[in-house]
Every structure is written in C-alpha cells, then in structure tokens.
C-alpha cells in the first residue's frame, strides 16, 4: 500500500475528498496513489499539509510521524504524574 493511501485511509477520507482539496480530478489522485503519476511540487506540499506530514515523508526520505495515540499516552502520563506527585503542603 502506498503512503498516500495509508494516510488517506487512516484519516477516513475518500479519494474524492483528497482530490477536491488538491483541485484535481479523482482519477488523477488515484494515479498518485497507485504510483502511475507523480504529483507536482505544489501538490506534494499541499498533500503534506493535508495529511500533516512532511514532504520528506511523502517522498520516502524520512520515518513516519509519531502517531497521535502515542502523543496522547505521553500527555496522559504527564497529567497522571502531575496529579499523583505530592504537593509541598503534603510533606
């Protein structure tokens, strides 16, 4: 599965929704997903913005971004830590 398809599916978007965002026909976007055609630089930038990833990631030059769930776990862990730490009044 291509990166574009993985990102689109993870965001629960249709090919038409992404194509409309880019201002291209759905069949053109399908060609991007299938690797039959490469998007121009402007569309690569717009896709990176849409999917909230870097252009390097879309081009296969960097690792996937951290998942939101791991960020949420870190935030929740920090919140729990703050609430379970004794206050100066407790000592």
Q: Per residue of the chain (91 residues), what is the pLDDT tens digit?
A: 689 999 999 999 999 999 999 999 999 999 999 999 999 999 999 999 999 999 999 998 887 766 543 333 344 444 434 444 455 565 5
Instruction: Quote the pLDDT of residue 88.
Output: 58
pTM: 0.68
Q: Name which of 59, 37, 61, 38 is nearest 48 in CA terms.
A: 59
Interhelix angle 26-34/3-10, nearest 10 degrees:
120
Predicted local distance difference test score (pLDDT) of residue 62: 85
Residue 38 has a pLDDT of 94
Cα(75)–Cα(39) distance, integer angstroms? 36
């Amino acid at each position: 599965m291509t990166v574009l398809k993985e990102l689109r599916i993870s965001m629960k978007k249709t090919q038409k929704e992404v194509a409309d965002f880019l201002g291209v026909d759905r069949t053109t976007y399908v060609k991007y997903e299938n690797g039959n055609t490469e998007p121009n630089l402007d569309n690569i930038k717009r896709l990176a913005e849409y999917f909230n990833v870097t252009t390097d990631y879309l081009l296969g030059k960097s690792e996937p971004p951290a998942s939101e769930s791991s960020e949420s776990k870190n935030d929740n862990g920090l919140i729990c830590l703050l609430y379970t730490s004794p206050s100066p009044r407790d000592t």
